[in-house]
Structure 1
């Protein structure tokens, strides 16, 4: 499989990137700043999704089989922040977490259709898209709920063409994005809310991404897989 994964420098994306490569797939990764092995692209730039896609397509000899939309931000903004700060936070979160992912989904669908169908998209959403988040993260929850709605829409719209679309909804996960919060006073409260007694590891989420990217049966298209230790069940 030829696979493009965004946000592949660390955390869930880094673990998925490493696992997919370990399993013998040709994987191109992306990060904001890029590296010797990762494509650079600031997803606040409207041109970035297409530039990332085109660069990955070149590196993968003109064929991408799977898109994994993992890149995202989890940044707080107070509900009583000044209007300018509030609007800037919403714009940044929605642009990176949802608009850029939508742009890449559209490019992937077009690519899959142009070659006669067949392809997979895996969108990394969040438990927050279903159950909400903290009072400082209205925008984050909204962006992930939007991603879930988009995932289901793509799945329904293109299944007949062999284009499958899945979501993953992690709860709190041990990663660079959450480590500081989990180690502070908020960590005990989080753990108390997880029947499993611990947060998920990035390797666990990466395995779900791998399965959806490669092995999940076609009839499961449209599903969003929860990885949250039963802290939210539906």
Structure 2
């Protein structure tokens, strides 16, 4: 581990990732924004990457107008060259990367048998290819420096075959869980952990729009714990996996689905 990385991952109270540089894709809104805010409040310097570069920059400037601890970047994760450029830009600005959160995702609620080849390709390009390419590109950098944390955002849909958000979306999330294990095994000897977080239905605008406000109460009753998930808790899971304390956790998929899927 080189000296710069030793400084960044020095022991801190509670094993936090304070001072480390975290890249969050799809970080400008939704769950990604919650994760960005949690990592930043925990002392990380955060690179907010999003297809909407203006939204990413606006969030970063809200967090730190000086741009010392937060910066926004426009990045289309479906394009490998864009991810290569993202790494180069973040290194130029922050002089290091320690954490990658692959959160960018595309959903499309559509009956399975009606999904077109182009729609399948578009969802897989963002959800799976984007994650895989980012793990390769950033993983190589982290492995070279002997330390890193990668957290991939999966989904309950990828575990139980749920198709409410689209069969191609569910398939991509299942593939993410498998790829997480492959990258974890490959990178573990080089100081890099790779894990997945698999949320169930969250109390979010997306879930409310899919379920429908009129059906929300009856839907809650189908969840064993009787409530939708809290995005802030998902962000806490990500923060823990991204911390130095999680050194012995790799290749895992942490569930937070209210008991809808038990294993």
- TM surpasses 0.5: yes
Measure the CA separation in 1 of the matches of 2:143 and 2:78.
27
Instruction: Tell whether the 8 Å contact from 1:129 to 1:144 is kept in structure 2 after alignment.
Output: yes
Deviation for aligned residue 1:113: 2.4
C-alpha distance after superposition, 1:48-70 (max 9, x if no partner) = 22222222222211x10010000
Which of these residues, 106, 127, 136, is aligned with residue 106 of structure 1?
136
The 5 A counterparts of 1:1-234 are 1-35=20-54, 36=57, 37=60, 38-61=72-95, 63-81=96-114, 86-115=116-145, 117-134=146-163, 137-188=166-217, 190-234=219-263
Instruction: Tell whether the 8 Å contact from 2:21 to 2:46 is kept in structure 1 after alignment.
Output: yes
Which blocks of at least 5 consecutive residues in structure 2 are unaligned? 1-19, 61-71
**Larger displacement relative to structure 2 (184-193 or 118-127):** 184-193
TM-score (norm 2): 0.81
Which blocks of at least 5 consecutive residues in structure 1 are unaligned? none
When the two chains are superposed, the root-mean-square deviation of aligned CA atoms in Å is 1.7
Instruction: Tell whether the 8 Å contact from 2:197 to 2:254 is kept in structure 1 after alignment.
Output: yes
**Larger displacement relative to structure 2 (149-158 or 136-145):** 136-145
Instruction: For residue 173 of structure 1, give the secondary structure of its aligned residue in structure 2.
Output: coil
Deviation for aligned residue 1:78: 2.5
TM-score (norm 1): 0.91
How many residues align? The count is 229
